[in-house]
């Protein structure tokens, strides 16, 4: 979410825009002390942390991470789990780059390696790992690193979407989205999109009322920076994996989408992303999607909905980690979670925000 200036977003698909420019009327709830979640591996000084985590039953956070930097083995995949001040950090048998994770009856990790795309799992009961991991694609990653998202369903089922480079063009070959799943019915690797532009950065959520929702970026970057990119929102109404999508945001430089839903009949969809670096949030609680633009200079987004509160967190260029929050139908408030720059994409998990420094992954939690 790299925001540089306030931009007027052209209304698309009858979507309204509210630019949040005024100072918040109130602050976000107070935050507890900084808590260490995972120290850097021995001998490792962190330049960046790559990974993903989710919050499950009992408010337990589980996720998978790579540590990159001086003295780090960036192919090691580490499991992190816990809440409050109690955390477990374990080296997994998997090696590669974490794309996404989710949890339900197990803790799943979607990752890439030099030989393709894989799915791993850690049992919630005895901590055993799926071995070997399940290979979803044998396409070796090219010059453009794959991106992905995964959902964990009940009864040890899952639904994964990821990007691959396809067709001619060598290192400049376009990227398209693929999927595989066991949720609803088994589906092996299947191509989801087919467009002359690139499709990447998928973010996946269960659809209110059943099925799935998928937001992703479509851009024209082929070995250079894109001159345009926009978001598409796709829906799979059932479990067949058949997607129907449409443009979600006006053409600009749209990147880094995240998505959350409140499931069940009457549920809603919430999306956050960057447009030319500015942070946006949009949801359909009013019956149609309403866009909100924050004054920010962001580098990433993550969105969460829990306890009647909508939260958007981002890494702010020059101002650490920032959290914007709305209670019910009230106005948005905004505050700094921690002033130092985070070395990972901040994640909002319930009332907790995960961040990273040169020495550790750490957290702060709201006091409600």
To the nearest whole number, what is the mean pLDDT of the chain?
91
361: β partners: 38, 356
| Per-residue model confidence (pLDDT) at position 17 | 46
pLDDT digits (tens, 9 = 90+) for 13-48: 333 444 444 344 468 999 999 999 999 999 999 999
Say whether pLDDT at 221 is over 60. yes
Six-digit token string for 153: 């369903």
pLDDT digits (tens, 9 = 90+) for 186-205: 999 999 999 999 999 999 99
pLDDT digits (tens, 9 = 90+) for 285-310: 999 999 999 999 999 999 999 999 99
Confidence of residue 3 (pLDDT cuts 50, 70, 90): very low
| Per-residue model confidence (pLDDT) at position 335 | 95
pLDDT digits (tens, 9 = 90+) for 308-359: 999 999 999 888 999 999 999 899 999 999 999 999 999 999 999 999 999 9
What is the signed CA dihedral for 281, 218, 161, 268, rounded to 10 degrees?
30
Confidence of residue 225 (pLDDT cuts 50, 70, 90): confident
What's the mean pLDDT in 79-104? 98
| pTM score above 0.85 | yes
Which phi and psi (to 5°) does residue 111 adopt? -145, 160
Q: How far apart are the first and last CA of the chain?
A: 27
d(CA 105, CA 90): 19
pLDDT digits (tens, 9 = 90+) for 147-171: 999 999 989 999 999 999 997 878 8
Say whether pLDDT at 7 is over 90. no
pLDDT digits (tens, 9 = 90+) for 117-145: 999 999 998 999 999 999 999 998 988 99
| Per-residue model confidence (pLDDT) at position 18 | 46
| Per-residue model confidence (pLDDT) at position 209 | 87
| Per-residue model confidence (pLDDT) at position 327 | 95
Spatial CA neighbour of 89 closest among 70, 76, 105: 76
Contact 352, 302 (CB under 8 A): no
Ordered by where they begin, the domains of the chain are 16-365 (2.120.10.10)
């Amino acid at each position: 979410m790299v925001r540089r200036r306030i931009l007027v977003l052209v209304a698309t698909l009858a979507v309204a825009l509210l630019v949040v420019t005024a100072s918040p009327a109130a602050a976000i709830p107070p935050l507890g002390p900084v808590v260490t979640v995972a120290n850097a591996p021995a001998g490792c000084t962190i330049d960046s942390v790559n990974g993903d985590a989710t919050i499950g039953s009992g408010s337990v956070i589980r996720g998978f991470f790579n540590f990159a930097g001086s003295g780090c083995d960036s192919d090691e995949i580490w499991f992190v789990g816990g809440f409050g001040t109690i955390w477990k950090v374990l080296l997994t048998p998997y090696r590669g780059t974490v794309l996404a994770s989710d949890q339900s009856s197990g803790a799943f990790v979607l990752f890439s390696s030099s030989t393709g795309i894989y799915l791993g799992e850690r049992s919630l009961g005895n901590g055993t790992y799926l071995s070997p991991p399940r290979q979803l694609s044998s396409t070796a990653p090219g010059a453009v690193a794959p991106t992905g998202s995964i959902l964990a369903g009940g009864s040890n089922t899952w639904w994964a979407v990821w990007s691959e480079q396809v067709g001619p063009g060598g290192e400049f070959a376009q990227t398209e989205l693929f999927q595989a799943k066991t949720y609803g019915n088994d589906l092996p690797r299947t191509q989801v999109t087919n467009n002359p532009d690139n499709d990447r950065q998928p973010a996946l959520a269960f659809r209110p009322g059943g099925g799935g929702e998928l937001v992703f970026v479509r851009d024209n970057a082929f070995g250079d920076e894109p001159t345009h990119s926009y978001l598409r929102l796709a829906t799979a109404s059932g479990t067949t994996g058949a997607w129907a999508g449409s443009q979600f945001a006006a053409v600009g430089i749209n990147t880094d989408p995240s998505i959350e839903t409140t499931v069940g009949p009457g549920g809603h969809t919430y999306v956050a992303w960057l447009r030319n670096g500015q942070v946006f949030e949009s949801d359909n609680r009013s019956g149609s999607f309403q866009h909100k633009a924050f004054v920010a200079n962001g580098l990433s987004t993550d969105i969460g909905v829990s306890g009647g509160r909508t939260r958007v967190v981002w890494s702010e260029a020059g101002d650490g980690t920032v959290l914007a929050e709305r209670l019910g139908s009230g106005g948005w408030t905004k505050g700094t979670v921690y002033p130092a720059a985070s070395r990972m994409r901040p994640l909002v998990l319930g009332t907790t925000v995960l961040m990273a420094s040169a020495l550790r992954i750490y957290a702060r939690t709201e006091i409600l």
